[in-house]
């Protein structure tokens, strides 16, 4: 996920994820063989071959890695592959995702726009998206007054991509699409439900907790799922055994004592990015890359929620509502509209806390063990002492 780990990507073995790789391969095959057209069985049943998959999961869990593995395989089967990475700075520029895809296709010589003819209709608004290439695009007489409608842009993007896929099957990998612009999402939704019969496949990756129900991508994913136009694959943490295998199979890893290895396995909690960074760091302080990641995670939370998490870090891995309430207010009863409940909800929504138990007895757990230490370190010492005192009282 970050540069230092990315460096090693191609040199180390991919651990686990066999089931996921199998599914991805199957989908790619199906699209390659039938162009993914509707498939008839006994002239009765038909099914749609999905032309896309979304890989979801936490940061560092291995989404990009898996997309790379499949891209390499597609390349070896003579697919053209276009990679695009979501960029927070570009999330306000309309259609940036697709502009980047097409520009990359042009730069990599996968797309020769000059070979397109008049039969490939490209709307004027589409041409405006690619000013550098206007001279190469086929001339179009523009008549329609409807050409500003997004549909014309989507259809033009589809035309260009299909044109590319006519030469060789085309795989488009859109990494970290939780950061794209709304117009790009709408176009993605349109494309994925209008690719049937063409050898074109899209892999998107995004962080699950970034795409909450209010995120513009969320409704598109739901709609595509309903149409069976995509698959979604959630990447779960690796097992302890897999993390151990990952550490030992990565080249240049420093030797580890057994207690240190056990500590890393516990701290990584199945996350390959954490495991690699911890192994490389060789000190007991939190590696900068992980600290930066946590800070960006916390930066998206309200002050109340951050405060709650800092307080809770004094209690260790998990805590219960009356206890955190006592620590916060020195009383254990929570009102229905208590801001503390909002803060807890917020932490749950962002996937920082996980709840378990029943209505009367809920326990909240930190999902990243390392975050507890990171939060704890941020509490000024005087306050830390006070919080410990309150925690002892609350737990009595
Ligand atoms: N199954 C795996 N086997 C080996 N290394 C992995 C595996 N999954 C992830 N990694 C490595 O862990 C790091 C984080 O993975 P990455 O794919 O960048 O995560 P994400 O895209 O989900 O944030 C990378 O260095 C990656 O190569
Ligand atoms: Mg990634």
- Considering the domain architecture, whether residues 93 and 192 belong to the same structural domain is answered as yes
- Considering the domain architecture, whether residues 15 and 127 belong to the same structural domain is answered as yes
Phi, psi for 121 (deg, rounded to 5): -75, 125
Tell me: pLDDT of 197 over 60. yes
- Considering the domain architecture, whether residues 227 and 247 belong to the same structural domain is answered as no
Q: What residues are in contact with ligand 1 under a 6 Å CB criterion? A: 1, 5, 8-9, 12, 14-17, 57, 59-65, 246, 272-273, 276
Region at 36 (left for phi over 0; alpha for psi -120 to 50; beta for the rest): left
For the segment 273-288, the average pLDDT, to the nearest whole number, is 89
b/e per residue 339-377 (b: at least 16 CB within 10 A):
ebeebbebbeebbbbeeeeeeeeebbebbbebbbbbbee
Q: How confident is the model at residue 330 (pLDDT cuts 50, 70, 90)?
A: low
- Considering the domain architecture, whether residues 49 and 166 belong to the same structural domain is answered as yes
* Residues paired with 232 in a beta bridge: 54
pLDDT value at residue 196:
87
Structural domain span for residue 28: 4-234
pLDDT value at residue 201:
96
Instruction: Pick the more confident residue, 325 or 347.
Output: 347
Ligand nearest to the CA of 253: 1
Q: How confident is the model at residue 355 (pLDDT cuts 50, 70, 90)?
A: very high
Report whether 123 contacts 152 (CB < 8 A). yes
Q: How confident is the model at residue 347 (pLDDT cuts 50, 70, 90)?
A: very high
- Considering the domain architecture, whether residues 8 and 82 belong to the same structural domain is answered as yes
Q: Whose CA is nearest to atom 13 of ligand 1?
A: 273
- Considering the domain architecture, whether residues 255 and 328 belong to the same structural domain is answered as no
| Distance in angstroms (rounded) separating the CA atoms of residues 188 and 230 | 11
Pick from 66, 273, 275, 293 the residue to mutate for probing ligand 1's pocket: most ligand atoms within 8 Å of its CB.
Answer: 273
Structural domain count of the chain: 3
- Considering the domain architecture, whether residues 278 and 157 belong to the same structural domain is answered as no
For the segment 358-383, the average pLDDT, to the nearest whole number, is 90
Instruction: Pick the more confident residue, 157 or 137.
Output: 157
pLDDT value at residue 51:
94
3 state SS of 372: helix
- Considering the domain architecture, whether residues 68 and 36 belong to the same structural domain is answered as yes
CA torsion angle for 147, 148, 151, 153 (degrees, to 10)?
90
- Considering the domain architecture, whether residues 280 and 318 belong to the same structural domain is answered as no
pLDDT value at residue 39:
52
CA distances from 210 to 106, 112, 205, 215, 225 (A): 31, 36, 11, 8, 19
Q: How confident is the model at residue 45 (pLDDT cuts 50, 70, 90)?
A: very low
CATH number of the domain where residue 382 is located:
1.10.10.10
Reference 122, options 155, 150, 167; nearest CA is 155
Q: What's the mean pLDDT when you consider all of the chain?
A: 87
Give the distance (Å) from ligand 2 centre to CA of residue 274: 13
pLDDT value at residue 309:
95
Pick from 5, 11, 62 the residue to mutate for probing ligand 1's pocket: most ligand atoms within 8 Å of its CB.
Answer: 62
CATH number of the domain where residue 222 is located:
3.40.50.300
């Amino acid at each position: 996920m970050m540069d230092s780990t990315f460096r090693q990507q191609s040199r180390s073995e991919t651990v686990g994820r066999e089931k996921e790789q199998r599914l991805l391969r199957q989908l790619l095959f199906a699209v390659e063989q039938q162009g993914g057209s509707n498939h008839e069985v006994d002239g009765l049943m038909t099914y749609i071959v999905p032309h896309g998959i979304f890989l979801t999961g936490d940061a560092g869990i291995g989404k990009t890695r898996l997309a790379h593995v499949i891209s390499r395989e597609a390349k070896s089967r003579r697919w053209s592959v276009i990679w695009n990475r979501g960029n927070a700075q570009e999330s306000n520029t309309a259609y940036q995702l697709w502009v980047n895809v097409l520009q990359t296709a042009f730069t990599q010589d996968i797309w020769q726009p000059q070979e397109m003819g008049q039969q490939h209709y490209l709307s004027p608004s589409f041409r405006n998206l690619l000013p550098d290439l206007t001279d190469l695009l086929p001339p179009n007489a523009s008549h329609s007054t409807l050409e500003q409608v997004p549909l014309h842009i989507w259809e033009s993007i589809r035309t260009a991509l299909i044109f590319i896929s006519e030469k060789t099957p085309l795989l488009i990998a859109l990494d970290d699409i939780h950061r794209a612009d709304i117009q790009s999402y709408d176009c993605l939704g349109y494309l994925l439900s209008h690719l049937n019969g063409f050898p074109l496949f899209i892999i998107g990756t995004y962080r699950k907790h970034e795409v909450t129900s209010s995120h513009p991508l969320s409704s598109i994913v739901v709609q595509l799922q309903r149409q069976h136009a995509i698959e979604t694959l959630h990447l779960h943490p690796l097992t302890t055994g897999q993390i151990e295998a990952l550490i030992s199979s990565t080249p240049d890893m420093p030797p580890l004592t057994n207690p240190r290895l056990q500590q890393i396995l516990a701290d990584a909690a199945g996350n390959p990015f954490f495991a690699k960074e911890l192994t490389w760091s060789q000190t007991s302080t939190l590696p900068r890359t992980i600290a930066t990641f946590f800070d960006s995670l916390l930066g998206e939370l309200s002050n109340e929620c951050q405060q709650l998490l800092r307080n809770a870090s004094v209690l260790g891995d998990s805590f219960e509502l009356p206890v955190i309430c006592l620590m916060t207010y020195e009383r254990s009863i929570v009102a229905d509209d208590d801001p503390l409940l909002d803060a807890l909800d917020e932490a749950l929504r962002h996937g920082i806390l996980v709840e378990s138990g029943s209505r009367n007895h809920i326990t909240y757990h930190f999902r990243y063990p390392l975050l507890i230490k990171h939060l704890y370190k941020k509490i000024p010492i005087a306050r830390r002492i006070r919080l410990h005192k309150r925690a002892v009282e609350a737990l009595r």
